[in-house]
Structure 1
Amino acid sequence: MGDRTSSDDITIAASQIFDGIAVHGPGRVRISKGRIESITFGESEPCASIQLPRDAILAPGFLDVQVNGGGGVLLNDEPTEAGVRRIVAAHRGAGTTGCLPTLITDRSEVIERLAAVAPACLKIPGVLGFHLEGPALNRSRMGIHPEAEIRVPDRRDLAAVKSFGGHGRSIVTLAPECVPASMIDELIGAGLRIAAGHSDATAAEVRLAVDRGISGVTHLFNAMSQLNAREPGLVGVALEDDRLFAGIICDGIHVDRAGLRVAFRCKGRDRLMLVTDAMPSVGTDDRQFLLQGKQITLNESRLTGPDGTLAGAHLTMIEAVRNAIALIGASLIDALIMASRTPATFLGLEDELGRIAPGYCADLVAINSALEVVGTWVAGVGSTNDATMASHRG
């Protein structure tokens, strides 16, 4: 993890506290030097620094492992510290306290530019690492990724990609059938987590890759070999193998309601992760942007390229939480776990994030009864939506 920003000691009082396992309350969470010092339960005391509205629940902050952009910025276009700051800021108000800014398939020099600024970016509160989605993808499942840049990494690419193993908890999405097994070993050995995606792999190829250490699946159901009667494909293995964590875009566009429910029943809240796959339009009023020369258009929450191909999502984590409840039928607790504790476990940060417990990072979100974010804190440094707070007082 990067450096955490400290603040003066604060105490947050809430009528309900979801600690990552169960809902308790009323209670108070005391924060000191960016860490949770203690949790006490009972009626609120007037000495609390922050008193949440009576209908608010305090929960672990959301963790998003796939964020292409936000605030008008696509990471590929601005692989800079300033660009990352704008992306993080665009998602913070929607409850995301930790994320992996995501670079989709691009030229070697773009990967190297991001690698050069990665150490500085890790000092930005909320940046946990990076997600390199490509370039080792299968062209038959490339989606919106630029075909000309899809490739098996050469030594130059590999050196840049491997450097991210030392930059937080970074992950690489690749098509396991398109790279030599030794490359998977090399990337994992460098400290990276590997996810299968944009892949046409057979079930046998996926299982071999999982045996070598692949632990994730990128945007389940999308851009991958599907489940058939005699060839389960990547989807079938993802649903069946409990070693695999799977991210899913819960916007009602990328995956049908039935598919969402099947995924939830098969994987459960401890292996299914809510992700946004968010694009630059999030946090703006923009209806169009360019993605590596292609015009992407937003129409009724659907982002598509000129040929109608889906191009990421216009989605925030609080919307994904609401959709998980409405479309999957998940409980609020289930949805919150899929948005926080499960991605923390996938990233190996289960002792740091995804819980409200003594010693954990004070990365928190407050949500009212309308499932709106009314406040976020990253390592104890908080911001509140004063208008929403005010409208739910009393």
Structure 2
Amino acid sequence: MGFALVAERLFDGEEILEDVALVVGDDGRIVSLGGVAPAHAQYVHGLIAPGLVDIQVNGGGGVLFNQEPSVEALRTIGKAHAQFGTSAFLPTLITDRLDVMQLAASAVSEALRQEIPGVIGIHFEGPHLSVPKKGTHEQSFIRPLSDAEWALYARDDLGIKVVTLAPETVPVEDIHRLVSMGVCVCLGHSNSDGKTALAALEAGATGFTHLYNAMSPLHSREPGMVGTALIRDEAWCGLIADGHHVCVEAMKLALKAKPRGKLILVTDAMPLVGSDALSFPLFDRVVTRERDKLTSSTGELAGSHLDMIGAVRNICRWCHLKIEEGLRMASLYPAQFLGLHMGRISLGSRADMILLDKDIQVQKTWIGGYQVFTR
């Protein structure tokens, strides 16, 4: 399975190098980087970069994970996003019934066992949310933590576990308990004041789900969720850079406020990514796509039609970032948030890589040394 190439340009996670030889071994890891290229190495035009890591993927390829919590669905979603550079992702289940959560967890467990390309764990976005900030989540499924959810979050066969919750609905001792069980706790869909959000961070929460969206705003005498997210240097913040969820000025503010490495690009992608369909059902509603905007029949934004490399292009163009930083926001920084050794091309690292052309369009994607997409 191993292969060798010479990259016209290669971004290793820190800097862009030119005419770099790279050899991938049969185990899917990089065994040689730089130096003299093997005689059989293929010269590759374009930019080789680390594969992209998306921590919030609701669906793709015509499949919504909530509606099809199965291994085959995860395979389809992974293939859909691989064509846009995603080499690792967290299938995300929005607020739903307990039995759907259990099916989703079992699907992820089996996908990890089968090594379905791209799947690294699961993100439960809800159901412990704030009704006033529910967004498009189904209100009838929002509920407090119960023994059944505790049992689910305690599973040790789910890979990376992320739970998004509203801190005003979950006591700090429960947040601390979740963290002690290996759950990465994010704050979101919350109408909390700054004091409550800060207490959740001190209890072990580490991130904010889709900064600005579905959270209490910054006011002059109350920081709210947004102010707390921006002022706390240690907290990571996801950002949906599609031009609909967050305006360019708010993106620039977040880039100024947060330390380098703490702002993460996410898609919050819905099933229409990688699909030609223009609508899909969501519980008792219909979500319709108009260009790249998704709107529920009840009026709210309903996830996005964004892909990861599109998010990189957007943030670089709108906020005048270098391509290196845009790629780090989509690879290295989310990997660091999850505690994973991804987002770099280095000796011994897994060969999760993408090939980009001059327009920052994905031409090839490799996951663990396997070429899973070619344009």
State TM-score, norm by structure 2: 0.97
List 4+ stretches of structure 1 deviating above 6 A: none
User: Offset at 1:45?
Assistant: 6.0
Counterpart residue number, 2:94: 104
User: Offset at 1:41?
Assistant: 4.8
The answer on whether the counterparts of 2:108 and 2:119 sit within 8 Å (CA) in structure 1 is no
1:313-392 counterparts in 2 under 5 A? 313-349=304-340, 352-386=341-375
- C-alpha separation in 1, matches of 2:139 and 2:355: 42
- C-alpha separation in 2, matches of 1:290 and 1:332: 36
- C-alpha separation in 2, matches of 1:384 and 1:151: 40
Match of residue 163, structure 2, among 153, 162, 172: 172
Match of residue 139, structure 1, among 115, 131, 154: 131
- C-alpha separation in 2, matches of 1:24 and 1:288: 43
- C-alpha separation in 2, matches of 1:309 and 1:195: 22
Q: Deviations over 1:59-100 (max 9, x none)?
A: 110000000000010000011101111111110010000000
Q: Relative to structure 1, is the Cα distance of residues 384 and 363 closer, same or farther in structure 2, using a 3 angstrom cutoff?
A: same
Counterpart residue number, 1:69: 59
Counterpart residue number, 1:291: 282
Counterpart residue number, 1:389: none
Residue 241 (1) aligns with residue 244 (2): no
Counterpart residue number, 1:126: 118
Secondary structure of 1:170 counterpart: strand
Q: Deviations over 1:136-183 (max 9, x none)?
A: 0000100000000001121112211332x5411120000011112221
Residue type matched to 2:371 in 1? G
The answer on whether the counterparts of 2:4 and 2:38 sit within 8 Å (CA) in structure 1 is no
The answer on whether the counterparts of 1:279 and 1:314 sit within 8 Å (CA) in structure 2 is yes
Secondary structure of 2:197 counterpart: helix
Q: Relative to structure 1, is the Cα distance of residues 384 and 121 closer, same or farther in structure 2, using a 3 angstrom cutoff?
A: closer
Secondary structure of 1:130 counterpart: strand
* Count of residue pairs the alignment pairs up: 372
Q: Which runs of 5+ in 1 are unaligned?
A: 1-7, 387-394
Secondary structure of 1:315 counterpart: coil
Counterpart residue number, 2:74: 84
- C-alpha separation in 2, matches of 1:166 and 1:120: 9
The answer on whether the counterparts of 1:226 and 1:236 sit within 8 Å (CA) in structure 2 is yes
The answer on whether the counterparts of 1:26 and 1:41 sit within 8 Å (CA) in structure 2 is no
1:151-300 counterparts in 2 under 5 A? 151-163=143-155, 166-300=157-291
The answer on whether the counterparts of 1:111 and 1:161 sit within 8 Å (CA) in structure 2 is no
Secondary structure of 1:26 counterpart: strand
The answer on whether the counterparts of 2:160 and 2:338 sit within 8 Å (CA) in structure 1 is yes
- C-alpha separation in 1, matches of 2:179 and 2:62: 33
Match of residue 304, structure 1, among 273, 284, 295: 295
The answer on whether the counterparts of 2:233 and 2:259 sit within 8 Å (CA) in structure 1 is no
State TM-score, norm by structure 1: 0.92
Residue type matched to 2:28 in 1? G
Residue type matched to 1:82 in 2? E
Residue type matched to 1:382 in 2? Q
- C-alpha separation in 2, matches of 1:185 and 1:12: 47
Residue 13 (1) aligns with residue 2 (2): no
Residue type matched to 1:39 in 2? L
Match of residue 19, structure 2, among 19, 23, 26: 26
- C-alpha separation in 2, matches of 1:131 and 1:68: 9
Counterpart residue number, 1:95: 85
Q: Relative to structure 1, is the Cα distance of residues 174 and 51 closer, same or farther in structure 2, using a 3 angstrom cutoff?
A: same
User: Offset at 1:307?
Assistant: 2.4
User: Offset at 1:115?
Assistant: 1.9
Secondary structure of 2:298 counterpart: coil
Secondary structure of 1:208 counterpart: helix
User: Offset at 1:51?
Assistant: 2.6
Residue type matched to 1:38 in 2? S
User: Offset at 1:269?
Assistant: 4.0
Residue type matched to 1:73 in 2? V
How large is the RMSD of aligned CA atoms in angstroms?
1.3
- C-alpha separation in 2, matches of 1:162 and 1:177: 22
The answer on whether the counterparts of 1:106 and 1:149 sit within 8 Å (CA) in structure 2 is yes
Counterpart residue number, 1:392: none
The answer on whether the counterparts of 1:269 and 1:337 sit within 8 Å (CA) in structure 2 is no
